[in-house]
Amino acid sequence: MTAHLESGTHEVIPARGGLDQNWRKLLRYGGLLALVLVFVSLIGMPVKLDSRIVVEPYISMGYLSLLWLPALLGYTVSAEKVLEGMASHARGAHELVAGAIVGLVGGAGLALLIWGLDTRDLSDPLVNWGDNLLGLLTFNETVGYGMLVWLGISTGLGLLGGLLHLLPRTATRAVLTALLAVFLVSALESALDDISEGFRLEWLFEWLFEARGGLTPKGAIAVAVVAAGYVVFGRSRAKAVRQRYDAMPTVERTRANAALLVLAGVAVVVLPMFLGKLTNELLANVGLFLLLALGLNIVVGLAGILDLGYVAFFAVGGYTTAILTSPQSPGLSPELPWLVALVVVIGMATLAGLFIGAPVIRMRGDYLAIVTLGFGEIIRLTVRSDWASGLTGGAQGITGIPGAGIFGVAEVRGIDPQAVFYLVAFFCAVAIYVSWRLERSRLGRAWMAVREDESVAEAMGINTVNVKLMAFVVGAILASFSGAIFAAKVGSVFESSFKILVSIVILVVVIVGGMGRIAGVIAGAVVLIGVLGGPNQPGLLAEFSEFKLLIYGALLVWMMLKRPEGLIPNVRRSRELHQEEFLQDAWLRGQVDADEEGNTTGGATA
């Protein structure tokens, strides 16, 4: 797309006048903005997040939860795709007015809410309706003041959103990156606190952050300037490095990859030593979910089997470990060492994979998803039932699970999150290696073929039932590792830790990261689990935990609509899109047999 814009083959016609607007569209966007603002206010985000300061004393995450919306919609109302060969208008007052009007309508919605909060009491169905919200929205001034200020703020932010269309591309990018950087740095406050202590950088931390939380104004400005500076000066250099990497011959690239891998490995080993308990605990949780996500990535991303009951294998790993190692497990209690139990865990996970896989594997698509969803719950309810409680402890669960002894070298348990992290990191490395090797093997290719078109894969000689069962089993084993570590870390297992929600969260991690892409899955786990938190685990933004599911859901819907390829898209997919554009361009220019031509040029280089 950008290539088209830069080549400038599209025609630009003069800007439209400021009042020459599509009023219905503006009203629609404005109405949407008003609804979202009121919705966000009423679910309690501004009040709950007000204690989390972004820049002291100016702005909190509570206000931010409202402020970004007018800017976003003010921008999107005038966003349009510029198509090859189509005319598009120059940008000007039209965009500014559109953004401002959308903001104004949204602000009016909020003003109406303020008026309602003041005059009525709807706190019965709407629990957040009340003086707290009113106080926040009126800045503890009069109602009229609050209404006017919000009208002004919303209009102004809408206008700024529209203004983004008028700025040059680099400037837009610099502004957005700077804002995002300020937000991220403030979101990472507790982790940065921890890291700065490890690296003896307390002075920097104290300069950046207020003692009672939030960036200092000068800190915020510094962060913004550095981020914007990177966009303006550093980006082209980063791009050049990237291009040089892409242009490397295979041998050299393998060497570069190996170097990067070693570097990443060293970072994973060294970094935790400088981190405090809190950050290590966070990393350990990220690792546990990453391990699950890597396993699910094989099932969903590679083999294309939408398994919604994946948590069952996590539970199998956790409970098998608990029963075999804990002296307090009610039925069987052999008190095996963790590593010995792990061997049994692998066996149990394989059995569970075959047991759940065999009946569902012959189904396809939606049916399979629904049945796996059911199986996931069946496993949990069985564990909880009276019938199994002699073995699993029912709702009381199993407690007293000892730590994981590693050849007498270390005893990994929850009170030492750093050790847990190393253990998890080791298993994640194993999972990454397994995914990487299998993807490039006979089995991995068969998985992809099944994902692409199951009937054709079958007709090409692939026993799809076997191949899909293999995916199920490999995924099950990886999930059970995570379960085994989880049990040793927490020291107890309860069926409530293995609800459907876990399956959903892992699936969101895989989808948001980019299905079938290992780097994407890692990014997805770090961002989602690290920042927002897992189903029962707090993330960096602990204040968000109430809204975690809402955000996960919204993110999933948005991803599916706008960016189905995930955060870090599959190289293959983007290359393919690029190729099609290339062919299309060639066709537009009247080069009929683009294929043959590509052939001769390609033949020369190959």
Q: Is 459 in the site for other proteins (CB under 8 A)?
A: yes
- With respect to other proteins, which residue has the nearer C-beta, 202 or 593? 593
Q: Is 453 in the site for other proteins (CB under 8 A)?
A: yes
- With respect to other proteins, which residue has the nearer C-beta, 9 or 441? 441
3-class secondary structure per residue, 534-598: CCCCCCCCHHHHHHHHHHHHHHHHHHHHHCCCCCCCCHHHHHHHHHHHHHHHHHHCCCCCHHHHH
Pick from 28, 92, 573, 586 the residue near other proteins by CB under 8 A: 573
Q: How far is the CB of 302 from other proteins (least distance, A)?
A: 11
3-state percent helix, strand, coil for the chain, nearest multiple of 5: 70, 5, 25
- With respect to other proteins, which residue has the nearer C-beta, 382 or 570? 570
Q: How far is the CB of 24 from other proteins (least distance, A)?
A: 38
- From 31-39, 288-296, 506-514, 592-600, give the range in contact with other proteins by CB under 8 A: 592-600
Q: Which of 294, 330, 300, 281 is nearest to 480 (CA)?
A: 294
User: Residues 145, 192: contact at Cβ < 8 Å?
Assistant: no
Q: Is 605 in the site for other proteins (CB under 8 A)?
A: yes
- List residues bridging with 493 in a β-sheet: 398
Q: Is 579 in the site for other proteins (CB under 8 A)?
A: yes
Pick from 7, 257, 455, 591 the residue near other proteins by CB under 8 A: 455
- C-alpha R_g of the chain: 27
Q: Give the containing element (helix H, strand E) for 13.
A: strand 11-13
Backbone region of residue 590 per phi and psi (left: phi > 0; alpha: psi in -120 to 50; beta: other values): left
- From 218-226, 306-314, 393-401, 435-443, give the range in contact with other proteins by CB under 8 A: 435-443
Q: Which of 61, 73, 176 is nearest to 531 (CA)?
A: 61
**Which residues touch 52 (CB under 8 Å, ≥6 apart)?**
60, 61, 62, 213, 214, 541, 543
Q: Is 428 in the site for other proteins (CB under 8 A)?
A: no
Pick from 117, 443, 484, 532 the residue near other proteins by CB under 8 A: 443
- With respect to other proteins, which residue has the nearer C-beta, 538 or 569? 569
Q: Is 442 in the site for other proteins (CB under 8 A)?
A: yes
Rounded distance, CA 421 to CA 33, Å? 43
- List residues bridging with 398 in a β-sheet: 493
- With respect to other proteins, which residue has the nearer C-beta, 33 or 462? 462
Pick from 452, 553, 554, 589 the residue near other proteins by CB under 8 A: 452
Q: Is 406 in the site for other proteins (CB under 8 A)?
A: no
**What phi and psi, each to the nearest 5 degrees, are found at residue 142?**
-75, 165
Q: Is 457 in the site for other proteins (CB under 8 A)?
A: yes
- With respect to other proteins, which residue has the nearer C-beta, 170 or 254? 254
Q: How far is the CB of 513 from other proteins (least distance, A)?
A: 17
**102 burial type by CB count under 10 A (0-12 exposed, 13-18 middle, 19+ buried):** buried
Q: Is 602 in the site for other proteins (CB under 8 A)?
A: yes
- With respect to other proteins, which residue has the nearer C-beta, 412 or 457? 457
Query: β-strand 11-13 against 87-89: which pairing, if any?
Result: parallel
Q: How far is the CB of 443 from other proteins (least distance, A)?
A: 6
**What phi and psi, each to the nearest 5 degrees, are found at residue 505?**
-60, -40
- With respect to other proteins, which residue has the nearer C-beta, 145 or 436? 436
Pick from 456, 542, 557, 588 the residue near other proteins by CB under 8 A: 456
Q: Is 572 in the site for other proteins (CB under 8 A)?
A: yes
Q: Is 305 in the site for other proteins (CB under 8 A)?
A: no
Pick from 437, 546, 557, 589 the residue near other proteins by CB under 8 A: 437
Q: Count H helices and E strands in the chain, helices first.
A: 27, 6
Q: Is 458 in the site for other proteins (CB under 8 A)?
A: yes
Q: Is 262 in the site for other proteins (CB under 8 A)?
A: no
Pick from 181, 302, 369, 438 the residue near other proteins by CB under 8 A: 438
- From 202-210, 308-316, 502-510, 573-581, give the range in contact with other proteins by CB under 8 A: 573-581
Q: Is 360 in the site for other proteins (CB under 8 A)?
A: no
Q: Give the containing element (helix H, strand E) for 404.
A: strand 404-406
- With respect to other proteins, which residue has the nearer C-beta, 28 or 445? 445
For helices 189-198 and 277-296, the axis angle rounded to 10 degrees is 120
Say whether the peptide bond before residue 564 is cis (omega within 30 degrees of 0): no
Convert residues 470-489 into a mask of x (bound to other proteins by CB under 8 A) and - (unbound): x---x---------------
Q: How far is the CB of 367 from other proteins (least distance, A)?
A: 19
**What phi and psi, each to the nearest 5 degrees, are found at residue 33?**
-60, -45
What Å distances lie between residue 376 and 4, 305, 536, CA to CA? Answer: 48, 15, 18
For 119, the token pair is 């005059």
Q: Which residues bind other proteins (CB under 8 A)?
A: 433-434, 437-438, 440-446, 448-449, 452-453, 455-464, 470, 474, 570, 572-573, 575-576, 579-580, 583, 593-595, 599, 602-603, 605-606
